Amino acid sequence: MTQTIYVNGSEEHLPDDPRVSLLDFLREHLQLAGVKKGCNQGACGACTVLVDGDQRILSCMALAIQYEGRAITSIEGLAKNGSLDPLQQAFIDHDGFQCGYCTPGQICSSIGMSAELRRGVPSHVTDDLSTEIIALSHDELRERMSGNLCRCGAYNGIVAAIAESHAKANP
Amino acid sequence: MTPFSYTRATNVGEAIRLGARPQTKYLGGGTNLVDLLRETLERPTALIDVSGLSNTIEELSDGGILIGAGAKNTAIAEHWAIRTRYPMLTRAITAGASAQIRNMATAAGNILQRTRCTYFYDNAGSRCNKRSPGQGCDAIDGFNRNHAVLGASSSCVATHPSDMCVALAALGAMVHLQSEHGTRVLELTDLHRLPEDNPGVDTRLTHGELITAIELPALPMAARSTYRKVRDRSSYAFALISVAAAIELEGEIIKDVRIALGGVAHKPWRAWRAEEVLKGNAASAENFRAAAEAELAEARPLRDNGFKIDLAKRAIVAVLSALAREESMETRT
């Protein structure tokens, strides 16, 4: 029996070998090379993808078969009808990258972060745990994005792009 | 990775039947096990995915909370009853790993994660008694800035990396287990072992025994509790040391207190001695200091990690002082 997974809206067959990571499955089997392999050990965030729409995970630390039947969104799945996701455009507008290798992970991670904020998920720097309305302060943004490293050090542009995009989406 | 089969368990009975077989491992979120498989530090022939079995978080009629073993770290941290009644647990979880990892990692997997000692992972280049029993330990005379100062042995100085477990130790959490031989409940503080002369074995779980839930006992004092973590960078790093604490005052007197330490030992370290020193005594800086001294009295530094002893003492005093100040301010108003 072949098992399936949904990637950027398409039904795909999972590999027979359960050792294939979700990251290798996306990159090597489906040729979705926008998903990046940085450290391959859960330390850099370059491989971040979204599960079931807006839940951010590291595809390097997952076996593809664990996500059987689930919907995965990679950077390739964000643009709609030929238009970039507003966050993708914001990264361009703010120079939120230099080499660009961490960018797909940064953008997917940021989408997941926004969903967590909407749900009221607290972070390490949230002062008051008894509120579910948390503003995206500079400190909150930095803490919540700390799982995505940028070795070029383009953090100022990354933070500006995310902050602007978040503010526009949450007026 | 060496070859293995993969089965997704649909119920606990199926999981423990399959899990009882030799060379079989349970799989939760995979955030540690996938890494260990990749490094061939774990070489099971079968994986049983138990992440879908129970992810509920249930408020119990006695005031406690039952956390399903498959509950994700994020789900625990954001749960309303946990963040308001057991804030140290939310604080501990959000201090650990990254948001992506917290979205993947399960409660049981967090408990059963293995040390991040670099010598343990350095399969080709280092000796490690945890990885290869009897081989020797290159950490004891090596770069051991991150290693244990309490409860270590001449065969292993690794630390348990979890933040969540430090809070669970302080809260007196109970871990529900099930195997083909039945069910039992272990205190979290009894679940992990000290290394002694057998560091390859991290816990008292038997082969095939499955964590089904973690129970937080009713503990009203935990509503004023916190977790402080000291690390080399302000986010996404393992603890050098950490402190989980709760305090209950009656006037100036400490009626009850809970303290546990992370980053200092092979297991989450409940500070029983410090608690004993404090109970029934005044909530003063001198007493907090005496309690910290008592807890760390048997600490043994290695070449690089002696700083942890003073750091842990100062953190205990700082955390208790802040909690006592908050509590006495609230009582007065």
Q: What is the ipTM for the molecules in this complex?
A: 0.98
The pLDDT of residue B2: 97
Rounded to the nearest integer, the mean pLDDT of chain B is 97
The residues on A that touch B, with CB distances below 8 Å, are 17-19, 21, 40-42, 45, 48, 55-58, 60-63, 65-66, 68, 109, 112-113, 116, 119-124, 126, 129-130, 132, 142-144, 146-148
Report the C-alpha gap between B261 and A103 in whole angstroms: 37
CATH placement of domain B221-332:
3.30.390.50
pLDDT per residue over B266-322, tens digit each? 999 999 999 999 999 999 999 999 999 999 999 999 999 999 999 999 999 999 999
Touching A: B residues 55-74, CB under 8 Å: 74
Contact at CB, A18 and B98, closer than 8 angstroms: no
Q: Which residues of A touch B38 (CB under 8 A)?
A: 40-41
Task: Write out pLDDT tens, residues B200-211.
Answer: 999 999 999 999
Q: Does B27 touch chain A (CB under 8 A)?
A: yes
Which pLDDT score, from 0 to 100, does residue B252 have? 94
* Cα–Cα distance measured from residue B217 to residue B82, given in angstroms and rounded to the nearest whole number: 12
Count of Cβ atoms closer than 10 Å to residue B135 Cβ: 13
DSSP-derived 3-state class of residue B327: helix
What's the rounded Cα separation, in Å, for the pair A5 and B174?
Answer: 37
Across the interface, do B99 and A113 touch by the CB < 8 Å criterion?
yes
Contact A119 B78 (CB under 8 A): yes
Structure tokens at B182: 């039945």
Give the count of alpha carbons within 13 A of A27, CB side only: 19
Question: With pLDDT > 90 as the criterion, what percentage of chain A qualifies?
Answer: 97
- CATH 1.10.150.120 spans which residues of chain A? 86-169
The amino acid sitting at B84 is: T
The answer to whether the Cβ–Cβ distance between A122 and B6 falls below 8 Å is: no
Which residues, in sequence order, are bridge partners of residue B47? B6, B25
B65, B95, B73: which is closest to B29 by C-alpha?
B73
Nearest CB to A147 within list B4, B49, B99: B99
Class of domain B5-51: alpha beta
In this predicted structure, the answer to whether residue B146 has a pLDDT above a threshold of 60 is yes
Which pLDDT score is estimated for B134? Answer: 96
Closest residue to B78, CB basis, from A66, A120, A144: A120
| Separation between Cα atoms, residue A65 and residue A16, nearest integer Å | 9
Q: Report which of B314, B330, B310 is spatially closest to residue B228, judged by C-alpha positions.
A: B314
Q: How far is B94 from chain A (nearest CA, A)?
A: 5
pLDDT band at A155 (very low <50, low <70, confident <90, very high): very high
| Predicted pLDDT of residue A1 | 56
- The mean pLDDT value for A128-138 works out to 95
pLDDT classification of A16: cutoffs 50, 70, 90: very high
Measure in Å the smallest separation between the Cα of B124 and chain A Cα atoms: 17
pLDDT confidence tier of residue A170, bands split at 50, 70 and 90:
confident
Range(s) for CATH 3.30.43.10 in chain B? 5-51
Closest residue to A129, CB basis, from B1, B35, B90 = B90
Task: Please indicate if any CB of chain A lies within 8 Å of the CB of B95.
Answer: yes
Q: What residues of chain A lie within 8 A of the CB of B104, using their CB? A: 57-58, 61-62
In chain B, list all ranges with CATH 3.30.390.50. Answer: 221-332
Residue B77 and residue A121: Cβ atoms within 8 Å? yes
Residue pair B175/B111 in contact (Cβ under 8 Å)? The answer is yes
- Mean pLDDT for all residues in chain A: 97
For residues B281 and A3, give the distance between their C-alpha atoms in angstroms, rounded to a whole number: 63
Task: Determine the distance in angstroms separating the CA of A128 from the nearest CA of chain B, rounded to an integer.
Answer: 10
Domain A86-169 falls in which CATH fold?
DNA polymerase; domain 1 (1.10.150)
Task: Give the chain A residue whose CA is nearest to the CA of B46.
Answer: A18
Token pair, residue B116, equals: 């991040």
Tens of pLDDT, residue by residue over A60-104, are 999 999 999 999 999 999 999 999 999 999 999 999 999 999 999
Q: How many residues does chain A have?
A: 171
Answer whether residue B332 shows pLDDT above 90: no
Q: Mapped to the 3 state alphabet, what secondary structure does B258-294 carry?
A: EEEEECCCCCCEECHHHHHHHCCCECCHHHHHHHHHH
Residue of B nearest to A148 (CA): B98
Residues A41-66 pLDDT 10s:
999 999 999 999 999 999 999 999 99
How does strand A71-73 pair with strand B5-8?
unpaired
pTM: 0.98
Average pLDDT (B242-255) is 97
Judge whether residue B330 has pLDDT over 90: no
- Give CA–CA dist A95/A60, Å, rounded: 27
**Percent of chain A's residues with pLDDT above 70:** 99
Task: Say which of A42, A121, A142 has its CB closest to residue B35.
Answer: A42
Residues of A in contact with B236 (CB under 8 A): 146-147
- What share of chain B in percent tops pLDDT 70? 99
Residue B54 and residue B69: Cα distance in Å, rounded? 6
- What is the least distance, in Å, from the CA of A130 to any CA of chain B? 6
Q: Where in chain A is the domain with CATH 3.10.20.30?
A: 4-77
C-alpha neighbours within 13 Å on the C-beta side of residue A130: 5
Is the pLDDT score of B328 beyond 90? no
Structure tokens at B36: 């260990």
Instruction: Reply yes or no on whether the pLDDT at B92 is more than 60.
Output: yes
- Inter-CA distances, B65 with A124, B14, B28, B68, B81, Å: 22, 26, 21, 10, 8
Task: Write out chain B residues lying below 8 Å of A57, CB-based.
Answer: 100, 103-104
pLDDT of B99 reads 98
H helices within B173-271, ranges in order? Answer: 188-191
pLDDT of residue B331: 67
CB-CB under 8 Å, B87 with A61: no
pLDDT score for B327 = 83
For B258, what's the count of Cα atoms within 13 Å in the CB-facing half-sphere? 25
pLDDT at res. A117: 96
> What CATH code would you report for A4-77?
3.10.20.30
* DSSP per-residue letters across B105-135: -BHHHHHHPPP--HHHH-TTT---TTTSTTS
Q: What average pLDDT score do residues B233-251 get?
A: 97
